[in-house]
Amino acid sequence: MNIIDRAKSPTPNFFKIVRNIGLFLAAIGGAIIAAPVALPTIVYTIGGYIAVAGGALSAVSQVTVETNIIEASKSNTDAK
């Protein structure tokens, strides 16, 4: 199974929640980085780490699939 098929396959409910948390973290990190006020350097650094962690969390959660659904659809395709 390639990465495109994994991204299009159904995601388990737990990982949907984790994906949404990752998107939230990425948005918070992006907002900190793009803040129009002068912030200390450490805050920008933490914002960058939060954005990267949120993006990675979302990406990994999106490509997590339920294998029993994939195996069932594969056996239905093979039977035709």
DSSP string, 8-25: HSPPPHHHHHHHHHHHHH
pTM, whole model, 2 decimals?
0.74
Q: Average of pLDDT values for 44-54?
A: 96
The pLDDT value recorded for residue 79 is: 58
Task: Please name the residue that has the structure tokens 């805050």.
Answer: 43
Q: Between the CA atoms of 22, 28, 33 and 35, what dihedral angle is there, to the nearest 10 degrees?
A: 160
Q: Average of pLDDT values for 10-26?
A: 93
Element (H, E) at 5: helix 3-8
- The Cα 57–Cα 22 span in angstroms is 5
